[in-house]
Amino acid sequence: MTRKLFGTDGVRGTANAWPMTAETALRIGAAAGRYFRNDGSNGHRVVIGKDTRLSGYMFENALVAGLTSTGMNALLLGPVPTPAVGLLTHSMRADVGIMISASHNPHHDNGIKFFGPDGFKLSDEAEAEIEAMVAGKIEPAKAANIGRARRVDDGRFRYAERLKSTFPTGLRLDGLKVVIDCANGAAYKVAPEVLWELGATVIPVGVEPDGTNINEHCGSTYPRHAAARVLDEGADLGICLDGDADRVMIIDETGQIADGDQLMALMAGRWAEADRLRGGTLVATVMSNLGLERYLEGRGLKLERTKVGDRYVVEAMRRGGWNLGGEQSGHIVMTDYATTGDGLLAGLQFLAAMIETGKPASSLVRQFERVPQLLKNVRYAPGQDPLETEAVKRAIAEAEGRLNGKGRLLIRKSGTEPLIRVMAECEDDGLLAQVVDGIVAEVQSVA
């Protein structure tokens, strides 16, 4: 079956345009309800969270209508980070969890992500079955079996307590000044609260959501504002989350920004020294820098690569029995503590490393020298496939020949937007630019 609704991270698109319409959300809810309430009883639950987008109200109501129409009981968390939905789906013994968010995308986009009863994201196979049901006839529940909906007021606090429990016993953040950029998103309340309760002096940024300013010139995709605040305030650290708080960027006291690769290198090395890194393996995607791979090899550790998407990282971790993984974009997955990427959790682990080593952030965020990497995105019209044209294929083949033995090339379609991502790594900056720009030009010519 060709999938049309679900991408690499659930369903995503522009609000009020297919597939992110209220009508489609209602059918997705009804299909998910029928899929999980497969024995006809009324004891089935769904946990629903959302970020701060204006369209979240619309999609929450539409999903609840569809879910309750097939007999599911909905527990509404309100604005909470994505990892809180994974946590509470499992702890509240729900059959399914749903997060309404488009993550790091601008406010006019939204999305629907699913978690299974174990708190992990649904498999491709489960999503394909739900998608097939959306396209078919969905049998509603009998009138007496329609589900109920209720608000859960303490979901944020349950998540906060879980986060604090992961911080090493006996450690506090007293004396540390921390800038926390919440991207005007789902963590705008919980992140500053957790840091303050652990003893930090907290400088909040991006904590005034208005429904349309999520990720706008703030957060992990725009960390420059937070970096300036770190310098202005003389802070020890900056933590930048995205709209649903499942990814993070770290800013050291000099204003330098560290991505997910550097954080994974730090944690893999520390965990290996403490004999905590299962199988001596870190799981990351094909986008992670070649420098990370070399760093791990130099320490006798292994890098297991997956295709792009934190769900694929987690699937590989579970298959291999590994407990640390993530993405260069800032998804850091620690299955000892959580079922999905958690930006604030990763930030707390970094703070713990600062306290335990007595070192400033600047000495921890530069674990390896990056191999020069260049990534460019080319937008194309929906329905087109520039990668199948002969001109683009020739350009890619030529680039691979030029990089042979000198670097690597990765061309892929985005799973969430109509973009072709062209990425290359090479020690020769001139060759790197030539290779990427050549492919980009060919894609643009046919896009």
CATH number, residue 162:
3.40.120.10
Q: How confident is the model at residue 425 (pLDDT cuts 50, 70, 90)?
A: very high
322, 231: one domain? no
Residue 242 in marked binding region: yes
Q: Which long-range contacts (CB under 8 A, 24 or more apart) does 61-65 make?
A: 61/22, 62/22, 62/23, 62/25, 62/26, 62/29, 63/25, 63/26, 63/28, 63/29, 63/98, 63/100, 63/112, 64/29, 64/149, 65/26, 65/29
User: Does residue 347 belong to any structural domain of this protein?
Assistant: no
Of 103, 220, 288, 329, the active-site residue reads 103
Same domain, 42 and 178: no
Q: Is 437 annotated as a binding residue?
A: no
> Which pLDDT score, from 0 to 100, does residue 130 have?
96
One domain for residues 31 and 141? yes
Q: Is the pLDDT of residue 414 over 90?
A: no
The pLDDT, as a whole number, for residue 3 is 56
Number of folded domains that form the chain: 4
Three-state SS for 421?
strand
Position 418 scores a pLDDT of 85
Q: Does residue 351 belong to any structural domain of this protein?
A: no
In a domain, 348, yes or no: no
CATH of the domain at 428: 3.30.310.50
Q: For the purposes of burial, counting CB atoms within 10 Å of the CB of 194, is it exposed (0-12), middle (13-18) or buried (19 or more)? A: buried
Q: In whole angstroms, what is the distance from residue 70 CA to residue 146 CA? A: 6
For range 352-381, the mean pLDDT: 95
Is 11's pLDDT higher than 50? Answer: yes
pLDDT of residue 350: 98
Task: Report yes or no: 275 and 301 within 8 Å, Cβ to Cβ.
Answer: no
Among the candidates 189, 219, 254, a domain finishes at 254
Which range of residues forms the domain containing residue 404? 373-446
Q: Are the C-beta atoms of residues 422 and 436 closer than 8 Å to each other?
A: yes
Structure tokens at 98: 């749903």
How far is 305 from 316, CA to CA, in rounded Å?
9
DSSP letters along 110-144, please?
EEEEEE-TTSSBPPHHHHHHHHHHHHS--PPPPGG
Length of the chain: 447
Distance between CA atoms of 70 and 280, rounded to whole angstroms? Answer: 46
Active-site residue, 103 included: yes
Indicate if 58 and 137 belong to the same structural domain: yes
Write down the residue that tokens 């702890």 correspond to: 91
Question: Pairing between strand 96-100 and 109-115?
Answer: antiparallel
What percent of the chain is predicted at pLDDT more than 70?
99
Average pLDDT taken over every residue of the chain: 95
Q: How confident is the model at residue 1 (pLDDT cuts 50, 70, 90)?
A: very low
Q: Is residue 252 a known part of a binding site?
A: no
The verdict on 69 and 17 lying in the same domain is: yes
**pLDDT recorded at residue 367:** 96
> Contact, 7 vs 46, CB < 8 A?
no
For residue 362, being part of any structural domain is answered with no
From CA 138, how far away is CA 386, in angstroms rounded? 36
> Picking from 158-172, 217-231, 410-424, which range would have the lowest pLDDT averaged per residue?
410-424
Query: Taking 80 as the threshold, does the pLDDT of residue 230 lie above it?
Result: yes
Both 317 and 419 in one domain: the answer is no
In a domain, 350, yes or no: no
Mean pLDDT of 41-62: 95
Q: Does 91 belong to an annotated binding site? A: no
Interacting residues of 358 by C-beta distance below 8 A, sequence separation 6+: none
For residue 361, the model assigns a pLDDT of 98
Residues 239, 177 share a domain: yes
pLDDT the model gives residue 86 = 97
Nearest-angstrom CA–CA distance, 392 and 230: 44
Query: What pLDDT is attached to residue 341?
Result: 96
Q: What is the pLDDT of residue 221?
A: 94
Element (H, E) at 263: helix 260-273
Task: Tell which of 342, 358, 390 closes a domain.
Answer: 342
Which strands form 257-258's sheet, in the order they lie side by side? 201-205, 177-181, 237-241, 248-251, 257-258
CB 286 within 8 A of CB 410: yes
Q: Are residues 26 and 125 in the same domain?
A: yes
Q: Which of 115, 135, 153 is the last residue of a domain?
A: 153
pLDDT exceeds cutoff 60 at 313: yes
pLDDT digits (tens, 9 = 90+) for 150-173: 999 999 999 999 999 999 999 999
pLDDT(268) > 90? yes
> pTM of the entire structure?
0.91
Residues whose CB is less than 8 angstroms from the CB of residue 405 and which lie 6 or more positions away in sequence, other chains included: none
Q: How confident is the model at residue 38 (pLDDT cuts 50, 70, 90)?
A: confident
Please report, as a single letter, which amino acid is at residue 7. G
Same domain, 325 and 404: no
Quick one: 16 and 144 in the same domain?
A: yes
Q: Supply the pLDDT for residue 144.
A: 94
Q: Does any domain span residue 11?
A: yes
The amino acid occupying position 35 is: Y
Looking at the structure, tell me whether residues 423 and 381 fall in a common domain. yes
The rounded distance, in Å, linking the Cα atoms of 95 and 33 is: 9
The overall longest dimension of the chain from CA atoms, in Å, is 69
Would you say residue 30 lies in a domain? Answer: yes
Average pLDDT, integer, range 96-102: 98
Residues 215 and 295 in one domain: no
Within a domain: residue 420? yes
Q: What are phi and psi of 230, to 5 degrees?
A: -60, -45
